[in-house]
């Protein structure tokens, strides 16, 4: 398998999700990752259930972000622990940490001190808030950032309470940005010989993830609202009830809507404004009611039987277990079992969605067990 980062060594002091997720991505690309955990282990080892064996064994949460790594315990509050870390950093290319900035400085892991001691070492720091804002000393978990950044305000039903996204997506985004920044820093160092400090604030990863919603707010100066499963700027682009479940329909072009209109029996000669998306957005409630009146008399399969051959993006609204266990090979090939020879256990994981020369990127090592 192609391993483009196989000549790089990463030391990972981060815990929970954003940092470990970023180093797992690097491990999938071939990097050697040494995970250093505090004496009690990464907190996510205890986040469950589910655990592998009832209340014992590995947690699913830890497994989701630590494939491809070797692990050891280290106590950075002791001189011995710091000495062990600095021995590892002599041969390392990158250090990843997610301490608060003041805590990193107290541990001797601030950029200035590390750079003076290890001038070729790249430092990647994941923070709750950026070091140049007044909130810089605040701790930040994904949920807190979803609340603080406006994500919750735009998630959920229009008349319901603000809701978080169903996964820790801020952490995942920050991990992706961190992995991308690390690879850019490695390229920069190879070209110039200069190591740099990367900082990824969760808050700013969340704001960047607001994407078109933030762009709209910047353009209009008004607060975006919650739309449930609908889309603020595109109609129809939401889920609809059928006789046996829900179907998602995403009409992204005016041509697609013309085809859908034929199925609905709509005469666009009498409603020419609906030929353009802006007209459909303006008359959202009327049009959605017409569409759902039709879908409610059909099964999900009947709706898909029309949409799919006519190139209208549509899908059954599926459960996680259904898509993981019943649609491998059809909708995805992401399941990757990893064999653990010490315990003779096969660990199910999700590989990276990256394909390199047609081969799925996935580190061969299962997540490390806690042995300290």
- Name the residues annotated as catalytic: 171
Structure tokens at 350: 């999700």
Of 33, 60, 27, the closest CA to residue 45 belongs to 60
CA neighbours closer than 13 Å in the CB half-sphere of residue 41: 14
Task: Report d(CA 159, CA 136) in Å as an integer.
Answer: 34
Task: Report d(CA 118, CA 93) in Å as an integer.
Answer: 10
Of 126, 104, 99, the closest CA to residue 21 belongs to 126
Task: Report d(CA 50, CA 130) in Å as an integer.
Answer: 33
Q: Residues with Cβ < 8 Å from 199, sequence gap 6 or more?
A: 124, 125, 126, 127, 130, 131
User: What's the maximum distance between 2 C-alpha atoms anywhere in the chain?
Assistant: 80
* Burial of residue 6 (number of CB atoms within 10 Å: 0-12, 13-18, 19+): exposed
Residue reference for tokens 């655990």: 51
Structure tokens at 2: 């192609």
Buried/exposed 221-239: b ≥16 CB within 10 Å, e otherwise: eeebebbeebbbeebbbbb
Structure tokens at 305: 């039987």
Structure tokens at 16: 């929970």
């Amino acid at each position: 398998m192609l391993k483009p980062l196989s000549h790089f060594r990463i030391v990972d002091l981060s815990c929970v999700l954003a940092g470990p997720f970023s180093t797992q991505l690097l491990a999938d690309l071939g990097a050697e990752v040494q995970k250093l955990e505090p004496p009690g282990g990464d907190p996510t080892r205890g986040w469950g259930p589910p655990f592998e064996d009832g209340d014992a064994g590995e947690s699913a949460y830890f497994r989701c972000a630590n494939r491809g790594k070797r692990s050891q315990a280290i106590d950075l509050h002791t001189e011995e622990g710091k000495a062990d870390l600095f021995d590892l950093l002599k041969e390392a290319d990158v250090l990843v940490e997610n301490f608060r900035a003041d805590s990193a400085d107290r541990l001797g892991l601030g950029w200035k001190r590390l750079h003076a001691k290890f001038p070729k070492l790249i430092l990647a720091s994941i923070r709750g808030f950026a070091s140049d804002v007044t909130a810089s000393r605040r701790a930040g978990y994904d949920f807190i950032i979803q609340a603080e950044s406006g994500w919750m305000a735009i998630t959920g039903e229009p008349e319901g309470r603000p809701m978080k996204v169903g996964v820790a997506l801020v952490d995942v985004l920050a991990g992706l940005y961190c992995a991308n920044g690390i690879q850019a820093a490695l390229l920069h160092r190879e070209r110039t010989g200069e190591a740099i400090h990367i900082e990824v604030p969760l808050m700013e990863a969340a704001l960047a993830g607001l994407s078109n919603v933030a762009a709209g707010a910047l353009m209009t100066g008004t607060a975006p609202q919650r739309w449930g499963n609908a889309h603020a700027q595109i109609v129809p682009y939401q889920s609809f009830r059928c006789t046996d479940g829900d179907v998602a329909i995403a009409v992204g072009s005016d041509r697609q809507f013309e085809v859908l209109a034929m199925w609905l029996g709509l005469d666009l000669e009498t409603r020419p404004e609906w030929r353009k998306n802006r007209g459909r957005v303006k008359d959202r409630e009327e049009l959605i009611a017409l569409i759902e009146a039709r879908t409610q008399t059909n099964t999900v399969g009947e709706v898909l039987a029309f949409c799919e051959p006519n190139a209208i993006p549509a899908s059954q609204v599926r459960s996680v277990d259904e898509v993981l266990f019943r649609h491998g090979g059809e909708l995805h090939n992401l399941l990757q079992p990893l064999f653990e020879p010490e315990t003779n256990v096969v660990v199910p994981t999700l590989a990276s969605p990256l394909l390199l020369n047609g081969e799925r990127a996935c580190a061969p090592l299962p997540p490390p067990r806690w042995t300290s």
